[in-house]
Structure 1
Amino acid sequence: MDQLPKTRAEVITISIMVEGGLVLGAYPLGWLLGIHPLSNFVINWHDSWIGMVATLPLLPIFLIMIHGSIPFLGKLKTISKDTIRPMMRRCTIPDLLGISLLAGVGEEMVFRGVLQSWLAQDSPPWAAVMAASLSFGMMHSMSKSYFVLATLVGAYLGLLFVWTGNLIAPIMVHFLYDAFALYYLTRVWKPYPNEEQAPIPDEEIDDDFSEDMF
């Protein structure tokens, strides 16, 4: 716990550096591979709605992971309870939405917008989806279960990208799923009988940091 960000400002700053770094990094990566990160990004209601609906099947999986007693998911549940939850409880709801949006945009630009699109030029769609999904899983390999789950979710997002041909669909799913997960972890889930036992810093919200950042 000592290595976690100690203030809300630190949480937001690190999130911007990591996820915002992916947004910026997608452009030089795309330049090297000859792929524009947003070449398949079109804002329209049809694919946005597909993304919204496609989020729904993922939510029960998240709830099973949190409330179930599946041994394979035990480490992931512990990470959610004792690392992600206490760290993100420092944030306001607008913070969580902003972090989720930045993660959705940045990660999908890199893994679907650039990597999968590049691989699909000389590979079958399924191979491009698989390779990009494995890379996506490796980025989230805090545990074996996290790697497996992230890889499967990455494949789901990759197939959605192939189906719609529009990056906005996986971005929408990624954003909404992360927003739901972070809200549930920080505002709904009570894993400790006595919340005073929860590993949360004394300063949950740094009021000196602008709440209008997002």
Structure 2
Amino acid sequence: MAGLPGGRLAAGLGVQTVVMVGAGAAMWVYSGRELDTFVDLGWRPVVQGLVFGLALIAVIAAIFRLFPGFLEKTARLQARMAALFAREPNGAAFVSIAICAGIGEEAAFRGGLQTLAGDAIGPVAGIAISALAFALIHMARPLITAIILLIGVVFGLVFWWTGSLLTVMIGHAVYDVWALRVLHRELARLGYLDDPDTPKTEPAV
């Protein structure tokens, strides 16, 4: 499967994106809203999304710079992803993955689940429930799950504050392009991309 995202993986991501968008749109309509208001279009959400994504990158990059061991630890905890990466970085692949994740996951978890849950039990609980579901679906190690949960809360707060699904879709995609590149670089530095099947020492959590 090296050479992310090619072949079956690319097809799987496309199907997953369509399914998640459909699920999110269905929950949106079930909540009593019009389908044509599901994704807001225009220059404002695009600008907001770019600013949001770049701001998130700046924060996480600062954390990695201040705590370089944290980057290595989180990369080791995601070592199984090495099997999906080619030895050389593939920018087009990173963008494809990021766009699929940004559109599909935000449609399902923020546009759909957070909206539906927020109407029923309040916006705070809606953000918490959607962020938890967002974290659990990634089936990651506990520390990575906790990080994804925190990021999901941030996405939820931005969606609640702006009311714009397109904003969080773009912000998510922009962040993911950077995050995939950083993960690829760190996995390569640690030697996981030289022989992905060779066991490496990983942190216990």
> Which TM-score bucket, shorter chain as reference?
0.7 to 0.9
CA deviations over 1:4-41 (Å, ceiling 9, x no partner): x3563233233223334322333445555555676342
Conservation of the 8 A alpha-carbon contact between 2:77 and 2:144:
no
Q: Which residue of 2 aligns with 1:105?
A: 103
Q: Which residue of 2 aligns with 1:68?
A: 68
The number of residues matched between the two structures is 192
Conservation of the 8 A alpha-carbon contact between 1:117 and 1:128:
yes
Query: Does 170-179 or 49-58 show the bigger shift?
Result: 49-58
CA deviations over 1:156-208 (Å, ceiling 9, x no partner): 0111111111101110111001111123333687423xx6972359xxxxxxx
- The 5 Å alignment of 1:137-156 reads 137-156=135-154
Matched, 1:163 2:161: yes
- Shift of the 133–35 alpha-carbon distance from structure 1 to 2, 3 Å rule, reads farther
- The 5 Å alignment of 1:191-206 reads 191-192=189-190, 198-200=194-196
Write the letter of the residue equivalent to 2:47. W
Conservation of the 8 A alpha-carbon contact between 2:40 and 2:166:
yes
Write the letter of the residue equivalent to 1:61. I
Q: Which residue of 2 aligns with 1:209?
A: none
- The 5 Å alignment of 1:177-188 reads 177-186=175-184
Q: Which residue of 1 aligns with 2:84?
A: 87
TM-score (norm 2): 0.76
Write the letter of the residue equivalent to 1:89. A
CA deviations over 1:140-159 (Å, ceiling 9, x no partner): 23111121111111110111
- The 5 Å alignment of 1:201-212 reads none
Conservation of the 8 A alpha-carbon contact between 1:116 and 1:132:
yes
CA distance in 2, matches of 1:83, 1:37: 38
Conservation of the 8 A alpha-carbon contact between 2:23 and 2:112:
no
- Shift of the 199–16 alpha-carbon distance from structure 1 to 2, 3 Å rule, reads farther
SS of the residue 2:119 aligns to = coil
- Shift of the 168–34 alpha-carbon distance from structure 1 to 2, 3 Å rule, reads same
- Alignment identity in percent? 22
Write the letter of the residue equivalent to 2:86. R
Conservation of the 8 A alpha-carbon contact between 1:19 and 1:107:
yes
Q: Which residue of 2 aligns with 1:43?
A: 41
Conservation of the 8 A alpha-carbon contact between 1:20 and 1:102:
no
Write the letter of the residue equivalent to 1:139. I
Matched, 1:118 2:110: no
CA distance in 2, matches of 1:196, 1:138: 25
TM-score (norm 1): 0.74
Aligned mate of 1:16, from 6, 14, 17: 14
- Shift of the 22–197 alpha-carbon distance from structure 1 to 2, 3 Å rule, reads closer
Write the letter of the residue equivalent to 2:153. A
CA distance in 2, matches of 1:164, 1:13: 32
Query: Does 48-57 or 143-152 show the bigger shift?
Result: 48-57
Matched, 1:172 2:170: yes
Give the unaligned 5+ runs of structure 2: 198-205
